[in-house]
Amino acid sequence: MRVQNTFATAVGNVFIDISHFVSYTITSILSGLSNDDDVQLLMCGTDYSHIPMEKSKIIRKINKYTISDFLNKLSNELWDTIFNSDDVSAVFNAFLNVYLRIFCPRFPP
């Protein structure tokens, strides 16, 4: 940090491991405020060939038993309290909350 009369400046440092990048460039961007306020832009190029192609995904357990349980719970829900509003957003949010409250435990990942 540099302190002079009525102002102070700080020097920021960024350290990168360049072995993870195919290329990188550093460019100055003039802010127009003062010499101390210029910005450095770091652009990194990566080699995407080393990225694993396998992606994770959530698979829910859905079978005739979980579907039956889900439909049973939906049919036992008191929907009157949810649809007794003129506010479409409130009705949708109430419906979604009930639906997800029933759906998620019946079809776990």
Residue 53 pLDDT exceeds 70:
no
pLDDT tens track for 55-85:
777 788 889 999 999 999 999 998 887 878 8
pLDDT tens per residue, range 92-101: 888 888 889 9
DSSP-based three-state secondary structure for 36: helix
Is residue 10 exposed (0-12), middle (13-18) or buried (19+ Cβ within 10 Å)? exposed
Report the predicted TM-score, pTM, of the whole model to 2 decimal places.
Answer: 0.46
pLDDT value for 4: 67
Sequence ranges of the domains in the chain: 2-50, 64-106
* Confidence at residue 41, expressed as pLDDT on a 0 to 100 scale: 76
Q: For the ranges 17-21, 51-55, 92-96, 102-106, which has the lowest average pLDDT?
A: 51-55
